[in-house]
Amino acid sequence: MISKKYSNFLFIFFMGLGMSLLMTLIITFVNTGYDEFYIKRFLKAWSISLPVAMITTTIVAPIVQKFVDKITE
pLDDT score at 8: 87
pLDDT score at 73: 84
For residue 42, with 0-12 CB atoms within 10 Å meaning exposed, 13-18 middle and 19 or more buried, which class applies?
buried
For the chain, the first-to-last Cα distance in angstroms comes to 32
pLDDT score at 10: 92
Domain boundaries, the chain: 8-71
> What's the CA gap between 20 and 70, in Å, rounded?
28
The pLDDT averaged over each successive group of 10 residues in the chain (73 residues) is: 90 93 97 97 96 93 93 91
pLDDT score at 20: 96
